[in-house]
Amino acid sequence: MEDKQILPSYLEKVILSFLVNEINIHNKEIPNFSGDFDKILDKDIEIGELVKSLSLVNWHWFNSVSSLLNVSVDFTHSSDLEGSVYESLINRDITSNTSSKFKLIKNENINYLRLNFSECQIESLSEDQQFKLLNVVNTNTSGFKNLKKLIISNGSSDQDIYLINKINFDNIKIGFLFLNMNPEEGKEDEPLISTNIKEIADLEGTDQSLNSLIPVFKQLKKVRSLIFDCFNIDSYRQLYISLCCDGDENKLSGPNGDNIVNSSCLSYIQNIAINNSQVQTIESLYFILKLLPKMKTISFKICFDNLIKQMDTTGTRKGCICSREDKCNEFFDHYWNGISKMIQEHQHLIRLEIGQHCTYPIAYAEPFRLPTDFVNKFGLAIGNNKSIKSFRTSHLPSSSINLIEFISGMNQTIVYHSHVFLNMSGPPPEEYVKDFNDLVEKYKHIKMFLIDDAFTNSEVLTYNN
């Protein structure tokens, strides 16, 4: 008889620990609001089957998997669901047989519970059905004595938030909140969300008064992604005063009152994108960076014509209308010095996206190279940063190669480039693309370099190292 190869027990334990840890990570995840929910549900079913397969290998594996699983989905695993998520939830009793040694998911081991409210279509449920669902959630969550966080993958309906606001658990994470939601009838003077909601994956729709936004920002502990949608440009400064200076403008110092006081501010927000139609002033960008000191990605648009004009040391640049009408330019040097310092010293920023956009739209009348003084000042901020890995620009002239080369020469941590050029009057792509081919050949640290031409709507360079 041949000897069978048997894995050492310690190696089995390491493998199981790794697999179940990955399962726990997946089960805690809420997809991006724009993500494919069908794929997520398919993955949930796949994960549920994997858990069953692992636990049925032998009794030792069963006990190991059971002790390591600390996340439950809809009180169980997706593969156990019969019928709709709603029907499964209201018929689920997790309080029975809690001490059974044959129970794979043991309540005392569960630290995180994820509920797929997005699949319940709460807005289509009757008032009685919503009451039943709320009662089941409140009753069953109390059965998990070591529960640390309730994770709810909710839909975009206001009804989802109304129901979640009534859940009796003090640490709730939700998938999505649209701040332009209508207050629940009879509760117009109350906060939009319960104080039990501490974390939001995707937060959008900040076209609200500061009085309604500030309580929401103050109670949250973590936000994966924030979209400033049609937010008043002039409100960033006031938002900074309210959140970072206890609402006391006298705590500010410096020109126009804008030196940092409290570096924590909205440090729990990881990523920020700003509505494509919104053009930042030098002041608003300054306070955005101050408000979000630990963000990993930022995407915004600003008028490069104004930046070039303000950084011009020769006095020959005419600039656009922004240069003459933007009142923030009075303190431009102060703001830019602060912005440059914050970007250079930023330790968390990984992805930077900057778009050229003028408040008073203009096209480049003639091709030009970005002035050297602009390249030095603007490029220095990005060139000295040591955390950015991905850099993207849009609607700069194709002749801006001198800026990109300046940054590439200083910064070898930026390995991913993507640039969309607005090339209305400059040379055709076949003439300028050679310069960029030479650039990526020169700087070997670049792993990917993409160029699109906005005027011809075509991809003109794709480089992968």
pLDDT digits (tens, 9 = 90+) for 193-215: 899 999 999 888 776 778 778 88
Asked if residue 110 is part of any domain, the answer here is: yes
User: Which residue type sits at 422?
Assistant: L
User: What's the whole-number average pLDDT of the chain?
Assistant: 81
Residue 409, pLDDT score: 94
Asked if residue 159 is part of any domain, the answer here is: yes
Helices 210-219, 235-244: crossing angle, 10 deg rounding: 40
Asked if residue 36 is part of any domain, the answer here is: yes
DSSP secondary structure of 173-195: EEEEEETTPPPPTT-TTS-SS-T
What are the backbone dihedrals phi and psi of residue 231, each rounded to the nearest 5 degrees, phi first? -75, 140
Report the SS3 class of residue 6. coil
Contacts of 280 by beta carbon, 8 Å cutoff, 6+ apart: 233, 274, 288, 300, 301, 302
Tens of pLDDT, residue by residue over 118-133, are 777 888 888 888 888 8
Residue 132, pLDDT score: 87
pLDDT interval class at 89 (50, 70, 90):
low
Top-confidence residue, 410 or 328 = 410
Asked if residue 389 is part of any domain, the answer here is: no
pLDDT interval class at 413 (50, 70, 90):
very high
Report the SS3 class of residue 34. coil
Instruction: Pull the structure tokens for residue 149.
Output: 């966080």
Instruction: Pull the structure tokens for residue 356.
Output: 């050229």
Query: In angstroms, how far is CA 431 from the centroid of its own chain?
Result: 38
**Please, what is the Cα angle at 159 between 158 and 162, to 5 degrees?**
90
Residue 351, pLDDT score: 95
Asked if residue 245 is part of any domain, the answer here is: no
> Within 10 A of 14 (CB to CB), how many other CB atoms are there?
12
| pLDDT surpassing 60 at residue 365 | no
The one-character DSSP state at 208 is S
The arithmetic mean of pLDDT across residues 153-161, rounded, is 84
* Structural domain count of the chain: 1
Name all contacts of 222-225 with Cβ < 8 Å and 24+ positions apart: 222/173, 222/198, 222/268, 222/270, 223/199, 223/266, 223/268, 223/269, 223/270, 224/200, 224/270, 224/271, 225/32, 225/201, 225/270, 225/271, 225/272, 225/273
What are the backbone dihedrals phi and psi of residue 183, each rounded to the nearest 5 degrees, phi first? -60, 150
| pLDDT surpassing 90 at residue 321 | no
Q: What's the pTM value of the predicted model, to 2 decimals?
A: 0.82
The arithmetic mean of pLDDT across residues 359-371, rounded, is 58
Helices 282-291, 332-345: crossing angle, 10 deg rounding: 30
> Within 10 A of 423 (CB to CB), how many other CB atoms are there?
22
- Strands 112-115 and 197-204 come out as unpaired
> How far is the C-alpha of 248 from the C-alpha of 235, rounded, in Å?
15
- Please name the residue that has the structure tokens 């992968």: 464
Top-confidence residue, 339 or 323 = 339
User: Which residue type sits at 330?
Assistant: E
> How far is the C-alpha of 260 from the C-alpha of 240, rounded, in Å?
9
Asked if residue 72 is part of any domain, the answer here is: yes
Top-confidence residue, 247 or 24 = 24
Residue 210, pLDDT score: 80
Asked if residue 298 is part of any domain, the answer here is: no
Write out the residue range of the structural domain in which residue 58 sits. 8-95+105-175
Residue 408, pLDDT score: 95
248-262, 286-300, 376-390, 426-440: which is most confident: 376-390
Q: Which of 140, 94, 118, 150 is nearest to 34 (CA)?
A: 118
What's the burial of 89, exposed, middle or buried (CB within 10 Å: 0-12/13-18/19+)? Answer: buried
Instruction: Pull the structure tokens for residue 163.
Output: 């129901």
Asked if residue 284 is part of any domain, the answer here is: no
